[in-house]
Structure 1
Amino acid sequence: MTQLARLAGGPAARAAVLSLLLATGACTGDLGRPRQDIFSQVLAPQAGFWSATARGEAASHFRFTDDEEQLRDRAWRLVMPSHEKSIFQRRVSDLAHARILPAQMQSSAKSDYFNALTGGSFASQASRYARLAEDANADRLLIGPFRANAMRVVAADRVRMRTAESSPEVAPSQIDPAQARVVENEGLILWVCERVGFRIESYRYALANLVVEMPSREAIRAERAIMALEAEAGPLCKMPLIGVFGGEGRAPAGEGDKAPVVYKG
């Protein structure tokens, strides 16, 4: 026990220890999300704060507003892998959502969804096209509410920073955590935009390979669903932000690197 305490002495080490506990002790609740227990409510947020701080990312100790809590709940579904059979990647994404792992550890292989979609047994190719269309449509229905939620958070952050910078009643010690929270919120929006784009790429990859392997007229319905998702994602990835990462839901024109992903889940 003494040795474990020594190992958990630093922020990164404490996060690693708690990550192991989370990986082995988390239980599944509704919609595949971690059940609301001591791990998801206490240990995961604290481990995420330690991990993000150790990586040099912005991390605020401020309590979340209702809209910020809801934004993180809505983001969870969009940053997770599209298919429930991607079990390992779902766990990685879950830990990234809690900030225990960096978001960059998520898979960027477009083939993951196709492999999960066609990995099991199925009676007809029509079911694969139907599932693809259903997944794209389900994502599309989530984007509008997330964008509306994000706009409320961004508006509140503008008020937050105007007050923090202009009011003599605000203690200097409040400025840094306020700025960190703005970075967290904007980083989360950018991350969701990035992962929605990745979903669209994954769906297009799956559709093309389904058509090559099992041609079907059902491909038309799936393609229309993907196009509708793409149209819905456009406004999200162009919404005006405060600008800590460039001002939009994508990197500014002329910059080759993606906007960094830092946030507090």
Structure 2
Amino acid sequence: MTDSADATARRRPCGGKTAFAALLALLASACTATTGDLGRPRPTVWSQLLAPEAGFLAAAVRGEAASPFRLTDDEEQMRDRAWRFVMPASPHSIFQGEVSNLAHTRILPVAAQSNDVSDYFHGLTSTSFASQSSRYNRMSEDVNADRLLIGPFRANAMRVVSMDRVRMRTVESSPDVAPEKQDPALARVVENEGLVFWVCERLDFRLRSYRYALANLVVEMPSREAIRAERAIMALEAEAGPLCRMPLNDAFGEGTKRPVVYKG
């Protein structure tokens, strides 16, 4: 082998790594650079075809329920409405936003999300505001925006739960349903209930994050605006209660730990 050929051979692994890194960057940009309303990805080949398929396979490999059935209109809408709650409360948590994005598509498990209640406070205080009142006002606006979206999500979830009852009764009683459709049907019910549980978990996390932020703001920058923020948090908690206590179909089994799994 000549010196030039030997040098070329030694360079090939590096070129392969570079190409692989470029591919990862391309996939990441496809996921992050097309943000639409409420932080949801705009319809692209990645968000509509590649990410859901990759998420389906990843969830199946992890042993989570994964149904190949098409989503109903209500199931699709419920997943869209859940987006606000499963994303980070602070818009400045860019990295955690991408982690939540990948968890929403099921490429990553939901356990990959941050559970640090200080994230929102750090995002709130890292931005320049005209006055201390502006930070309290921003928190109140964020909390109230969450509260106003819970009702529509709950109504949507109730429709899905109701149709899941019909789904399972039909699977169990109709001789016209092939046996091989039973497992995918149950998997879809588990996915739907898992989404409700996940939203409730993240709502609880948001409440704890807002309270942490409020307490630390009062210590650093006391203001009468804290009263309005506290009332907003209390109203959010009151609105979240009925959602997280609504009767479901007990797809995970009574008395068992309810894992958060669903198909995005």
For normalisation by structure 2, the TM-score amounts to 0.88
Paired with 1:115 and 1:259, the residues of 2 have a C-alpha distance of 31
After superposition, residues 1-265 of structure 1 pair within 5 angstroms as: 21-26=26-31, 27-245=34-252, 259-265=258-264
Q: Which amino acid aligns with 2:261?
A: V
8 Å CA contact retained: 1:136, 1:229:
yes
Q: How many residues align?
A: 242
Q: Which amino acid aligns with 1:261?
A: V
Paired with 2:139 and 2:100, the residues of 1 have a C-alpha distance of 21
Identity %: 73
What's the CA shift for 1:18?
9.1
Paired with 2:27 and 2:100, the residues of 1 have a C-alpha distance of 13
Paired with 1:141 and 1:189, the residues of 2 have a C-alpha distance of 17
What's the CA shift for 1:20?
6.3
Q: Which amino acid aligns with 1:177?
A: P
Q: Which has the larger radius of gyration?
A: 2
Structure 2 unpaired stretches of 5+: 1-21
Q: CA RMSD in A?
A: 1.8
The residue aligned with 1:4 is none
What's the CA shift for 1:259?
2.4
Distance 1:228 1:192, change over 3 A: same
8 Å CA contact retained: 1:18, 1:43:
no
Paired with 2:52 and 2:63, the residues of 1 have a C-alpha distance of 16
What's the CA shift for 1:123?
1.7
Distance 1:18 1:177, change over 3 A: farther
Deviates more, 1:131-140 or 1:24-33: 24-33
What's the CA shift for 1:32?
2.6
8 Å CA contact retained: 1:80, 1:94:
yes
8 Å CA contact retained: 1:111, 1:206:
yes
8 Å CA contact retained: 1:183, 1:244:
yes
Paired with 2:227 and 2:175, the residues of 1 have a C-alpha distance of 61
Distance 1:95 1:208, change over 3 A: same
1:100-156 residue CA offsets vs partner (Å, 9 max, x unmatched) = 000000000000000000012222110000000001100000101100100100000
Distance 1:227 1:161, change over 3 A: same
SS of the residue corresponding to residue 208 of structure 2 reads helix
Structure 1 unpaired stretches of 5+: 1-16
